[in-house]
Amino acid sequence: MNYNEPTEEEKNKWINDPDNWIWGIFYYNPKDKRLFPPKKIKQFGYTTNFANPNSVFALLLLMAVLITLGRFIK
């Protein structure tokens, strides 16, 4: 077990902490290193951690790919 890695209990506390959500919709937690942590209601999927630059880059890359594909599918 890696002692530097947070426990599942700690990760769940981060998700449920309202201080980690900007306007209640944007997840921002510098302690959380996951690219796409689950949303508050896990059945709704995943969100972007805007405090993690790699997560924001991955989101922008995904959006660029989808826009490019959308232009070719016309």
Percent of the chain with pLDDT over 90: 55
Note the pTM of the prediction, 2 decimals: 0.77
Q: Residue 55: its pLDDT value, please? A: 93
Question: Per-residue pLDDT for 1 more than 70?
Answer: no
Please name the amino acid found at residue 67.
I
